Amino acid sequence: MELDVLAKGIMMGFGMLGPAIGIGLIGSSFMNAVGRNPEAAKYFGQVFVIIAIVELMALLVFASLFII
Amino acid sequence: MFSLLQLFAATEESGPAIHITPGELFTVGGFSITNSMFYGGICSILIVILLIVAARKMTIKPKRGFIQFVEIGTEFIIGTIQNSMGSRKKAIQYAPFFASAFFFVMLSNWLGLLPGVGEAITYNEQPVLRPFTADLNGTLAASTVMMILVQYFAIRENGFIGYLRHFFAGSLKNPATYLLGVFEVFSELTRIGSLALRLFLNVAIGEIIIAIFTYLGSFAAPITALPFIVLELFVGALQAYIFTMLTIMYLSAAIKHGHDAEETIQAANEVTAQTA
């Protein structure tokens, strides 16, 4: 039982690591783009779409918690 | 410390009620009617009535209230299609499909947060109401319908040969064209799964998080669960936007053909002519 909890913790930790880095990179490059060209700020909606694509990986990790 | 671990681990005996799959309420002639199908039907009837009333009452001079909300949503969808396709006429032509998908997904997500949805009302030991989008079957059906519509529109715009040439672009004597074309068809199929999984997991995990924080809060549940319900209101609207936005992007990618490169070169020439 205790090992089960440990496995879930390791899975959550490492599984969320990648999407977190990915969303951070998206945000930082959006801010870079706005800093260079302030007219790019109108593409804020597109950023959410790309974040949703990355977020799917994190959600898959979270959903696997209830399967193992 | 160890007792806290056991609190999280002991989900079988006395944990929060977590359902990944919908529960079967009753069967009609061999088909099982699940709670999400039941609530999805209620939601769609409600949306049809509300939108018909809104369309009847819509005037040139804007009104306050629910009609204004529908107008803002529809105008937002038309603006999004116009941005990705580049013409207002096409945007108005395609708007009805995407606007109805947007309102259906958003209202399904939001109606799932109402009190009484979930464990409050039970029948045959299963909750009677479950949001339609918190069921993988429901979101798979929604995304399949949207992707079939996208293929239909692409065939109607480009003709069947043009539609096939969108997948098998390039010289037909080159074997690599066929290989890449098969990959293109396959990626079109995986889009159905990724659209469905994204919507399902966002809504279902929101429900699970609300259930967990209601359980952990015990007597203070209204305070601990409220921030997550507000977050889920935002996520519900955002997921509806993303669902329609991604289908619009797939449609505009399927409709655009051939002269993309020419237009880019032309635009670049104009820019260089202006600067020089």
Per DSSP, what are the bridge partners of residue B32? B27
Q: Are strands B31-34 and B126-127 parallel, antiparallel or unpaired?
A: unpaired
Query: Averaged over B66-81, what is the pLDDT?
Result: 87
CA-nearest of B190, B195, B230 to B213 is B230
Q: Would the pLDDT of B17 be above 80?
A: no
Whether the CB-CB separation of B214 and B16 falls below 8 Å is answered with yes
Q: What is the pLDDT of residues B170-187, one digit of tens each?
A: 778 888 888 888 998 898
Residues sharing a CB contact under 8 Å with residue B205, sequence separation 6 or more, in sequence order: A59, A62, A63
Q: Would the pLDDT of A24 be above 90?
A: yes
Q: Is A52 on the interface with B (CB under 8 A)?
A: yes
Distance from CA of A30 to the nearest CA of B (A): 18
Complex ipTM value: 0.80
CA-nearest of B178, B170, B156 to B254 is B156
Distance CA B246, CA B105 (A): 14
Question: Which among A59, A60, A61, A68 is the top mutation candidate for probing chain B, defined by the most B β-carbons within 10 Å of its own β-carbon?
Answer: A59
Distance from CA of A51 to the nearest CA of B (A): 10
- What residues in A contact B109, CB-CB < 8 Å? none
Q: List, in sequence order, the alpha helices (H) in A1-68.
A: 2-36, 44-64
Structure-token pair, residue B85: 């396709």
Distance CA B54, CA B57 (A): 5
User: Which one-letter amino acid corresponds to residue B219?
Assistant: F
Determine, for residues A4 and B9 on separate chains, whether the beta-carbon distance falls below 8 Å: yes
- Taking each helix axis from N to C terminus, what angle separates B175-217 and B221-255, rounded to the nearest 10 degrees? 170
Tokens 């005996």 sit at which residue? B13
B214: exposed, middle or buried (Cβ count in 10 Å: 0-12, 13-18, 19+): buried
Structure-token pair, residue A15: 């599984």
Least confident of B20-29, B152-161, B253-262: B253-262
Per-residue buried b or exposed e for B99-132, using 16+ beta carbons within 10 Å of the residue's own CB: bbbbbbbbbbbbbbbeeebbeeeeeeebbbbbbb
Distance CA A55, CA B198 (A): 8
Determine, for residues A52 and B9 on separate chains, whether the beta-carbon distance falls below 8 Å: no
Q: What is the pLDDT of residues B100-120, one digit of tens each?
A: 899 999 999 998 888 878 777
The most confident of B62-71, B176-185, B266-275, by mean pLDDT: B176-185
Q: Could you say which of B8, B80, B201 has the minimum Cβ distance to residue A5?
A: B8
Distance CA B179, CA B135 (A): 35
Distance CA B226, CA B221 (A): 8
Determine, for residues B249 and A49 on separate chains, whether the beta-carbon distance falls below 8 Å: yes
Write down the pLDDT at residue B1: 41
Determine, for residues A49 and B205 on separate chains, whether the beta-carbon distance falls below 8 Å: no
User: Which one-letter amino acid corresponds to residue B169?
Assistant: A
What is the band of B11 on the pLDDT scale with cuts at 50, 70, 90? very low
Q: Is A5 on the interface with B (CB under 8 A)?
A: yes
Higher pLDDT: A55 or B58? It is A55
Q: Could you say which of A5, A49, A59 has the minimum Cβ distance to residue B245?
A: A49
User: Which one-letter amino acid corresponds to residue B263?
Assistant: E
Q: Could you say which of B197, B204, B242 has the minimum Cβ distance to residue A48?
A: B242
Determine, for residues B80 and A45 on separate chains, whether the beta-carbon distance falls below 8 Å: yes
Distance from CA of B223 to the nearest CA of A (A): 24
Write down the pLDDT at residue B2: 45
Distance CA B251, CA B271 (A): 29
Distance from CA of A49 to the nearest CA of B (A): 6
B91 phi/psi in degrees, rounded to 5: -60, -45
